[in-house]
Amino acid sequence: MGRERLSAVDVIRTKRDGHRLSDDQIDWVVDAYTRGVVADEQMSALAMAIFLNGMDTAEAARLTQAMIDSGERLDLEVDRPTVDKHSTGGVGDKITLPLAPLVAACGAAVPQLSGRGLGHTGGTLDKLESIPGWRAQLSTDEIRKQLVEVGAVVCAATEGLAPADKKLYALRDVTSTVESIPLIASSIMSKKIAEGAEALVLDVKVGSGAFMKTEQDARALAEALVGIGKQHGRKVTALLTDMSVPLGRAVGNAVEVAESVEVLKGGGPQDIIDLTVALAREMLALAGIDADPAQTLAAGGAYETWCRMISAQGGDPEAPLPKAGHVHIVEAVADGTLTQLDAYQVGVAAWRLGAGRARKEDAVQHAAGVICHKKPGDRVLAGEPLLELRTDTPEAMEGALQALDGGYRVEHGTPEPAKLVIDTVR
């Protein structure tokens, strides 16, 4: 191994002492870490220094660029405007499923490279893999072909996309440095910019079921993401959206697919419809397309695109979805109004039932999950079902019920309705 032009110790010391990293330092340390010259323990120290001392927008933008440069970029080569959406993750957040085909049906190309669930937040790929035959892994040529022919693709990121980010993300996960806004923002944006879309709408969740629990933290992340996008010449908008209550009524994998199909067919829960249409409007505005997504959704055009998108990836959109072998109903013990349904606790319950995973290598149960028969503001009678827990492992029920303890309340009075879209950061 030849002599390196910079030293990992010097880079760590610079950030440890609260100084800015130079472009040269950032470029070198990301490249050297990807090559294996900088050791995991050294990159861990740098990640902790960034966690404690932060980065300004220019530093975060340069870190994003260095991670993009560590791998390949997708050359989409399509004749439609390209626009993508990224969510910071939540409970019952199946919005990508109706959104991608809806925006495609309105005339844009939507290259949605998605991930898997970890902990209480679900993963888009896990949900779609509950459809018989559907496959997540596509080659770059297959992604491009599907975008041209269908207008939308939801799949796993190709192996060569931002490999430095994959390596650093795994390290942050085990060194308690995940919750750093510049590291989160550069991780998200490196993948999204390398993916090649011209515009990006970000759904930054805030609340108990979100990564960011407070509006202040969510706004800081949204501003960092938009700032990096601007530095890289991308059109980026971020919506701050509520994640104190699960989105829709289904939390899991197959159950969320079923609910998404309801929405695509013109039905489904109002909050899913409202957020899907709100995000679609932003995506179409950035893409320069004058279309009404609400009208397209109601007319059934998005459902047709969904069927073509699923079929193109080997799935059967008409096939029955998996059903759980064991069901437990949580009933209301008194008359009143459901005033609270905590998103985090519902997410943990679904995870314990088998819908999620504790480690990246774990398998998920496609049929497991929670159905929320009532949502905050709904009137309930004693004995009525509030929640329906589904699993193929009955021994998981007790842990799921423990996770829900104190997570819902039936009281007299009506709760103040939460605002679904809290703000927009442009």
Catalytic site residues? Answer: 86, 165, 172, 187, 191
Helix (H) or strand (E) holding 352: none
Strand partners, 241: 205, 421
CA distance 73 to 80: 18
Strand partners, 206: 212, 242
Strand partners, 380: 336
Strand partners, 411: 337
What is the amino acid identity at position 61? A
Measured CA to CA in angstroms, residue 274 lies from 108, 242, 269, 280, 419 at distances of: 20, 12, 9, 10, 11
CA distance 330 to 398: 12
The H-assigned helical ranges of 153-269 are: 163-173, 181-195, 215-231, 254-264
CA distance 63 to 347: 32
Report which of 168, 184, 164, 176 is spatially closest to residue 60, judged by C-alpha positions: 184
Locate 366 and state its tokens: 């496609």
CA distance 404 to 342: 8
Could you give the count of Cα atoms lying within 13 Å of 292 in the half-sphere of its Cβ?
A: 5
Report which of 205, 209, 204 is spatially closest to residue 407, judged by C-alpha positions: 209
Dihedral over Cα of 118, 121, 124, 126: its sign: positive
Contact 73, 190 (CB under 8 A): no
What is the amino acid identity at position 76? L
What is the amino acid identity at position 203? D
Q: How many CB atoms lie within 10 A of CB 139?
A: 10
Strands ordered across the beta sheet of 369-372: 250-252, 369-372, 385-391, 326-331
CA distance 185 to 227: 9
The H-assigned helical ranges of 1-133 are: 8-16, 23-35, 40-53, 57-69, 96-105, 124-128
The H-assigned helical ranges of 75-162 are: 96-105, 124-128, 140-149
